[in-house]
Amino acid sequence: MAELNAGELRSLITTTFPELTGSVFKLATKGWDSVAVDVDDRLIFKFPLNPHAERALVREAAFLGVIRPSLTMAVPDMRIHDGPSIFSSHSKLRGEHLMTEDYEALPEAARQRLGDDLARFYAELHDLDADRMRALGAGPILPWQLPETVRDKALPLLPSELTSYAETVISDFQSLPPDPYGITFGFFDGHGWNMAFDHGQGRLNGVYDFADSGFGPLHQEFIYSNFISPDLTARIVSAYETLTGRQLDRRRIAILTGFHRLSELAELADDPAYIGSKIDSVAAWAAASAHTG
């Protein structure tokens, strides 16, 4: 669909939901694939920006129809609406993003509760029937950049003090054997921008944005919480091991985290708007690895 302005989005929503005519509308987010509109701070409407995004939105809603009743964690109850433009609606999960500084301000009990809650979320998600998810359209998650591409495009952008670290990460990544637990259906997007966190109560109210869900190596599921804090990842991993009986390889998770950040830098190497933040992301993980390693 062609990109719509705020008035057109409002018109599309109120045509289907006339009871919202007097409501307060505000643009929530504009992502790579969709625009989200917040209505009365209680409803979220998502509008895909292209045919690929439309198919992804319909698929996400189908996933959530199976995922939602299977999880302890709250996730969106998404509905698809046909019309001149396909869009979705769901009740807003109450809470805000969870950033590093937010996590570091949490007391010990809240940190542990968060780790336990996310471990249960992953354990229950990984227990879903794989064939059923495939039948709904779940496929492989998006691949990362190849190591050769990362060397060619990311390394020249890094400051000299990070070059040796990056070379080691790439080499370690290439040496990894296949994931010992194979491929699983998972979230693969568990960073703080997809969390509804109640900062007043210090509690996670829900997780959203399952557009990137699909089948991938099990250990990769646990890298995204490192954007919040390695301490949180350590808590998630330990609690997940207790819940599932699977013993996870922390070194593998650390290598995957490092390579993922280099891959993101390589992917966006030709876009000056993102290079700085991606270099900062690599540097932050290099520092965290030196501190913990």
- Average pLDDT of the residues of the chain: 95
Q: Is 240 helix (H, G, I), strand (E, B) or coil?
A: helix
Burial 201-229 (b: 16+ CB within 10 A, else e): ebebbbbbbbbbbbbbbbbbbbbbbbbbb
User: What does the pLDDT average to over 37-66?
Assistant: 94
Band of pLDDT at residue 83, cut at 50, 70 and 90: confident
Question: Amino acid identity of 64?
Answer: L
Q: Locate 85 and state its tokens.
A: 């433009």
Find the farthest-apart pair of alpha carbons in the chain and give their distance in angstroms, rounded: 60
Instruction: Report pLDDT for 4.
Output: 66
- Quick one: which of 292, 243, 232 has its CA closest to 100? 232
Task: Tell whether the model's pLDDT for residue 91 goes beyond 90.
Answer: yes
CA distance 196 to 186: 19
Other Cβ atoms less than 10 A from the Cβ of 24: the count is 10
Alpha helices per DSSP H over 82-181: 100-104, 108-126, 130-135, 147-153, 160-175
Band of pLDDT at residue 208, cut at 50, 70 and 90: very high
pLDDT tens track for 15-27: 999 999 999 999 8
Q: Is 185 helix (H, G, I), strand (E, B) or coil?
A: strand
Task: Tell whether the model's pLDDT for residue 233 goes beyond 60.
Answer: yes
Instruction: Report pLDDT for 3.
Output: 60
Instruction: Report pLDDT for 163.
Output: 97
Question: How far out from the chain centre does Cα 35 lie?
Answer: 17
Band of pLDDT at residue 5, cut at 50, 70 and 90: confident
The kind and range of the H/E element at 37 are strand 34-39
CATH superfamily of 6-91: Phosphorylase Kinase; domain 1 (3.30.200.20)
Task: Tell whether the model's pLDDT for residue 187 goes beyond 80.
Answer: yes
- Quick one: which of 138, 129, 124 has its CA closest to 68? 124
Alpha helices per DSSP H over 3-107: 6-16, 51-67, 100-104
Q: Is 128 helix (H, G, I), strand (E, B) or coil?
A: coil
Q: Are 183 and 215 in contact (CB under 8 A)?
A: yes
User: What does the pLDDT average to over 213-229?
Assistant: 98
Task: Tell whether the model's pLDDT for residue 108 goes beyond 60.
Answer: yes
CA distance 38 to 182: 39
Which overall architecture, per CATH, does domain 100-292 show?
Alpha-Beta Complex (3.90)
What does the domain layout of the chain look like in residue ranges?
6-91, 100-292
pLDDT tens track for 249-278: 999 999 999 999 999 999 999 999 999 999
Partners of residue 214 on adjacent β-strands: 186
